[in-house]
Amino acid sequence: MKQGYDIKAILNRLPHRYPFILVDRVLGFEPGVKIRAIKNVTINEPFFQGHFPGRPIMPGVLIIEGLVQAGALLLAESLPEIRHDQVCFTGIDRARFRAPVVPGDQLVFEVEIAKQRAKVIKMNANAFVGLNRVAEAKFLAIIGGEK
């Protein structure tokens, strides 16, 4: 597995910015195969103000978004000739949330390419807190044409 990288390198590879960047560090990756990344969850996240007052829980949709961003980073490493605006995530299947994610947790995103045919890529994704899987999903992405 290749060495990971920090937030500065992530910001060079993804178009997302505060408050929507949901990957803090890439731990390692194998181009065309898999990636491991983390998101440190803190009480300072803006969504905790309303989700939920007195019992902060990270919204599941944002866990999925973190997994998608990790998948986008995997594609950036696997297909360096493709710009981020040429990749479109077109499907999410079998999303499941197995445990709540709360302030103080560190999410570990693991995404792997399951199948690639021409311009269509299928990925399997899992999110962990410690050894516990807290979410999982399957993604579909399509590589589009020039803009």
The residues annotated as belonging to the active site are: 51
3-state SS, the chain, equals: CEEEECHHHHHHHCCCCCCCCCCCEEEEEECCCEEEEEEECCCCCHHHHCCCCCCCCCCHHHHHHHHHHHHHHHHHHHCCCCCHHHEEEEEEEEEEECCCCCCCCEEEEEEEEEEEECCEEEEEEEEEECCEEEEEEEEEEEECCCC
